[in-house]
Homo-oligomer: A and B are copies of this chain.
Amino acid sequence: DMALRHYTLDFSLSTAVPGLLSIFHEQEMTETVHDTNGHGYLATFVGKNGRLVILRVHSHGLVTIDLQCYEDDNILLNALEKKLKVLLNGNITRIKRLPAIVRGAKVDRYWPTADGRLIEYDIDRVVYEEDSAYQNIKILHSQQFGNILVLNGDVNLAESDLAYTQAIIGSGKENYAGKEVLILGGGDGGILAEVVKQKPKMITMVEISFKVIDGCRTHMRKTCGNILDNLKGDCYQVIEDCVPVLKKYVQEGRMFDYVINDLTAVPISTEPEEDSTWEFLRLILDLSIKVLHPAGKYFTQVSLVLLATAEYDECKLLILLLLIYQSSISSVGIN
């Protein structure tokens, strides 16, 4: 794998140390000192095998070192860190060395969270990848978490995430026996597999793409068991659709005892007029409540992150909607 290894080593100095540069001169690298117009010292060093070092001494005492190379190279950085500690003895107030970031690798291990945090998973292979009309669908294998479903780059569910499924169906406190249940999304089959055990009257699951189901049926079996082997059973049916079916149910006056909204954190709209995330969330909530029995329950995951990144007015809107709806239904279960 010709991926680029990008190492970083940063430290903060209490005083300027002019001897710092000598360390790099030993490395047989071609040095270029750049004019930063008063923004500290900046030098680039190009060495053998495409190796690149960027040394910056920032004006506020921070020193950052980048090492880019095509092979694992902890040796250089270990030596560097050791020498720096000797040279800068007593002047280092903080030191931080991150694991190398591997860029352009065949198997991508970096899947940031919805709130933009960088997370590296121990992913060793891609077991499924398909593009539907609406989504890029990936299933990635992790030693630690089992297979992981990633929709449009957003980590959805790992095989180890039974806790999530249990939470969204009410943490074992609900009795689904003989009930009408509507699942929005849920393509990994986890909710369906759990609820079906309780012998509901009928579960209707509307999933925007059967390609999600195709992947999960084969590669997320710790989540879905064998429930996705058939899209129709004694007490369940899976339909490839979402909003249009919901709208149809509203028109027909169909009612459910439970609506479980398992759509992605940033749900996918299929209509241009629903292109604002918040408009779309409102539409889903609105339609869901219309098909819910007065004594029914609505379960959903609310991404706190989404709320946190939302405009204040949008937050207020959602909370207001929840309050309005709450007065018309017996309980809003948010896990």
Contact = CB atoms under 8 A, between A and B. Distances in A.
A46 to B, nearest CB: 5
A40 interface: yes
A83 interface: no
A127 to B, nearest CB: 18
Interface string A109-142: 1101001111111100000000000000000000
A56 interface: yes
B52 A42 contact: yes
A285 B110 CA distance: 36
Nearest to A119: B119
A193 interface: no
Given A42-B52, A50-B58, A54-B54, 12 more contacts: A10-B104, A36-B46, A62-B103, A64-B104, A94-B104, A96-B104, A98-B101, A98-B112, A99-B117, A115-B122, A118-B120, A119-B119
Given A46-B42, A104-B12, A4 B58 contact: yes
A44 interface: yes
Contacts of A66: 66
A26 to B, nearest CB: 19
Interface string A89-100: 000001010110
Interface residues of A, number: 52
A173 interface: no
A8 B103 contact: yes
Given A46-B36, A50-B58, A62-B103, A108 B96 contact: yes
Contact of A116 (B49, B64, B99): B99
Interface stretch (A27-35, A254-262, A290-298, A324-332): A27-35
A68 to B, nearest CB: 7
20 contacts: A2-B60, A4-B10, A4-B58, A8-B101, A12-B104, A30-B34, A37-B46, A37-B48, A39-B49, A42-B46, A52-B56, A64-B68, A96-B104, A96-B108, A98-B112, A101-B101, A117-B122, A118-B119, A118-B120, A119-B119
Interface of A: 2-4, 6, 8, 10, 12, 30, 32, 34-37, 39-40, 42, 44, 46, 48-50, 52, 54, 56, 58, 60, 62, 64, 66, 68, 94, 96, 98-99, 101, 103-104, 108-110, 112, 115-122, 144, 163, 304
Nearest to A10: B103
Contacts of A119: 118-120
Contacts of A121: 117
A103 B99 contact: no
Contacts of A94: 104
